[in-house]
Amino acid sequence: MLFGCTAWPAEFAARYRQAGYWSGQTLGDMLRERAVTVTERIAVVDDEHRLSYGEFDARVDGLVAGFRELGVLPRDRVVVQLPNIAAFLEVLFALFRLGAVPVLALPSHRSSEIRYFCEHSAASAYVIADTDLGFDYRTLAAEVTAAVPSLRHVIVCGEPDRFTALEELRRPPGTAPGPAPGDVALLLLSGGSTGLPKLIPRTHDDYLYNVRASAQVCRLGPHSTYLAALPVAHNFPLSSPGILGTLDAGGKVVLARRPAPDTVLPLIHAEQVTITAAVPPLAGVWLGAAAASGHDLSSLKILQVGGATLSTSLAQRIEPTFGCTLQQVFGMAEGLLCYTRLDDPDELRLATQGRPVSPDDEIRIVDDADQPVAPGTPGHLLARGPYTIRGYYKAEQHNVTAFTTDGFYRTGDIVRLTPEGYLVVEGRAKDQINRGGDKIPAQEVENHLLAHPAVAEAAVVAIPDEYLGERSCAFIVPRGPAPTPAELLRFVRQRGLAAFKVPDRVEIVEALPKTGVGKVSKNDLRAAVRQDIPTDTQNASPQHQDAR
């Protein structure tokens, strides 16, 4: 294990190994094995590459040698922020093989988030694209390197400017001793509900099990072609079963540079995609476009939808339009994954979020006092199991409340269990906004708003939205003359907050409703939003909306 991480207690680790969940293989070795068994098959396709397993494996080994020569050591943390391109996977597997630990940032993260990830993980390197979607990541890297002393290397895919080009790191394939299967393979980001996002340590053993168990549920094999349309750094497309599941099965991974239907639908046809994943709003957009597009989508067998609540009406339209099976996925980067099964009856596939993937996933549904609720009653979901973490990275204090004393993770989700043992997500107890699958920790945004000299109090809550499910609304009590909403939005953007976290709407109010103990009553705020403010009226400026 890596310092700063909580291991599974010995008796649990022994049990998971004995049951065969933890296979003792590393992710790097998994790819090596495929490169031997299906050398000539196509592993990874992007706009510019079509790499066989043999080629992909050799390119990974070349980068291992390059990273080593640069001075990136086993256990070093490396923040990786790349779009959906083959280089992401080459870097990821090179770091896996080296035993360095990738920290997977999203392309939408900006200086506030990236600086924190680098500082908190004491990262020695940061890997970026030169530009993407008009944004220059080298400018961001210059800002972050100036602020974070541990950061020794910036590696750029594309034009490096004053940094190191990824292409310069390519060497003849070399070998390295490699990590142990119980070591931390990567650090994922939590959706978070507190002031700062948490880092989630996943071991080779636990992550590979998560991937293989998921691949089995989706019946992946060498015939499978997975299309990654969601950002590859996210746990859903990466490992549920996603890219890693497909590579383990010897299938083909197709990386879509953009999730828009004019990219995705032609790719499904051209590459004969069999499975892909979307968050509900994206599934809705694909659905609207698919009916009119005329693209032959008959290769598609499974459309996975998860990350946020899928409405029954959208769920009902997916199978007839795409001619494939809808699979609902309820998961979290911390571990627990629930899937509807491919042969489940309609009522389970369309109206539940599935059941856990492992026979050894333990779930409890409890009340506020951690006591089990009556069967079928909504309650807090707690989870423990062979791939659910026992603690966040370097977050001792937070771990005390985020986990029960017997090691269950408090998911912050409110769920109920159906008689068949399937979960239905009913709501959320955590202070977070789920903006179409993008998670916004309310407190993080509030802290940025409170940094403005004219803001006395700030509270960010979810407001219902027909397209995204939820959007964010910031209630502001001014100090002195009220700032305009546009000024506040400019302010948080300038502080380097990812665009999806910038409030969709700002309401200036005289006071915030308080609970009996003097805390801001977010329930009252949410109720006020529902009653008073029509959800189609946005205070945000048009430029703001365009900025997304």
* 440 HSE (CA, 13 A, CB side): 29
Listed ranges 331-339, 341-349, 366-374, 529-537: which one lies at the site for ligand OOB (CB under 6 A): 331-339
For residue 435, state whether it binds ligand OOB (rule: CB under 6 A).
no
Nearest to 127 by CA among 86, 173, 78: 78
User: Binding residue for ligand OOB (CB under 6 A) from 80, 155, 249, 425?
Assistant: 425
Which residues, 6 or more positions from 209, have their beta carbon under 8 angstroms from its beta carbon? 16, 21, 22, 23, 358, 386, 387
Cβ atoms of residues 525 and 475 within 8 Å: yes
**What tokens does 354 get?**
């599935």
For residue 483, state whether it binds ligand OOB (rule: CB under 6 A).
no
Which three-class secondary structure state does DSSP give residue 36?
helix
Cβ atoms of residues 444 and 472 within 8 Å: no
Residues in 164-203 at the binding interface with ligand OOB, rule: CB under 6 A: 191
For residue 210, state whether it binds ligand OOB (rule: CB under 6 A).
no
User: Binding residue for ligand OOB (CB under 6 A) from 193, 274, 411, 538?
Assistant: 411
507-526 burial code (b ≥16 CB/10 A, e <16): bbeeebeeeeeeebbbeebe
For residue 308, state whether it binds ligand OOB (rule: CB under 6 A).
yes
User: Binding residue for ligand OOB (CB under 6 A) from 109, 153, 428, 452?
Assistant: 428
- Residue 279 is given by DSSP the state -
For residue 358, state whether it binds ligand OOB (rule: CB under 6 A).
no
For residue 488, state whether it binds ligand OOB (rule: CB under 6 A).
no
Listed ranges 77-85, 232-240, 291-299, 473-481: which one lies at the site for ligand OOB (CB under 6 A): 232-240
**Residue 423 or 540 with smaller CB distance to ligand OOB:** 423
Nearest approach, Cβ of 191 to ligand OOB (angstroms)?
4
**Residue 4 or 191 with smaller CB distance to ligand OOB:** 191
Site string for ligand OOB, 439-478 (x = CB under 6 A): x---------------------------------------
For residue 112, state whether it binds ligand OOB (rule: CB under 6 A).
no
Nearest approach, Cβ of 407 to ligand OOB (angstroms)?
18
User: Binding residue for ligand OOB (CB under 6 A) from 66, 83, 197, 306?
Assistant: 306
CA 226 to CA 145: how far, in whole Å?
36
Distance of CA 259 to the CA centre of its chain: 15
Listed ranges 82-90, 161-169, 301-309, 474-482: which one lies at the site for ligand OOB (CB under 6 A): 301-309
CA 110 to CA 130: how far, in whole Å?
14
**Residue 5 or 283 with smaller CB distance to ligand OOB:** 283
Q: What is the largest CA-CA distance in the chain?
A: 69
225 residue type, one letter: T
User: Binding residue for ligand OOB (CB under 6 A) from 21, 96, 236, 286?
Assistant: 236
Cis ω for the linkage preceding 241 (within 30 of 0) = yes
For residue 332, state whether it binds ligand OOB (rule: CB under 6 A).
yes
For residue 413, state whether it binds ligand OOB (rule: CB under 6 A).
yes
User: Binding residue for ligand OOB (CB under 6 A) from 66, 245, 307, 335?
Assistant: 307
- φ/ψ bin of 250: left (φ > 0), alpha (ψ from -120 to 50), beta (otherwise): left
For residue 111, state whether it binds ligand OOB (rule: CB under 6 A).
no
Nearest approach, Cβ of 439 to ligand OOB (angstroms)?
5
For 428-460, the DSSP string reads E-SSEEEETTEEEEHHHHHHHHHTSTTEEEEEE
User: Binding residue for ligand OOB (CB under 6 A) from 62, 331, 391, 441?
Assistant: 331
**Residue 413 or 507 with smaller CB distance to ligand OOB:** 413
Listed ranges 284-292, 306-314, 357-365, 536-544: which one lies at the site for ligand OOB (CB under 6 A): 306-314
Listed ranges 115-123, 233-241, 293-301, 527-535: which one lies at the site for ligand OOB (CB under 6 A): 233-241
Listed ranges 75-83, 172-180, 263-271, 328-336: which one lies at the site for ligand OOB (CB under 6 A): 328-336
CA 206 to CA 16: how far, in whole Å?
9
**What tokens does 238 get?**
């990466």
Nearest approach, Cβ of 387 to ligand OOB (angstroms)?
11
Q: Cα-flanking dihedrals φ and ψ of residue 459, to 5°?
A: -140, 125
H-type helices in 19-148, by residue range? Answer: 27-37, 53-70, 86-98, 111-121, 137-147
Cβ atoms of residues 137 and 113 within 8 Å: no
Would you tell me how many other CB atoms lie within 10 Å of the CB of residue 190? 23
Alpha-carbon torsion (349, 350, 351, 352), positive or negative = positive
Nearest to 196 by CA among 486, 441, 530: 441
Q: How many residues bind ligand OOB (CB under 6 A)?
A: 22
Nearest approach, Cβ of 470 to ligand OOB (angstroms)?
11
User: Binding residue for ligand OOB (CB under 6 A) from 187, 264, 329, 455?
Assistant: 329
User: Binding residue for ligand OOB (CB under 6 A) from 194, 353, 358, 472?
Assistant: 353
The residue at minimum Cβ distance from ligand OOB is: 331
List residues binding ligand OOB (CB under 6 A): 191, 235-236, 240, 306-309, 328-333, 337, 353, 411, 413, 425, 428, 434, 439
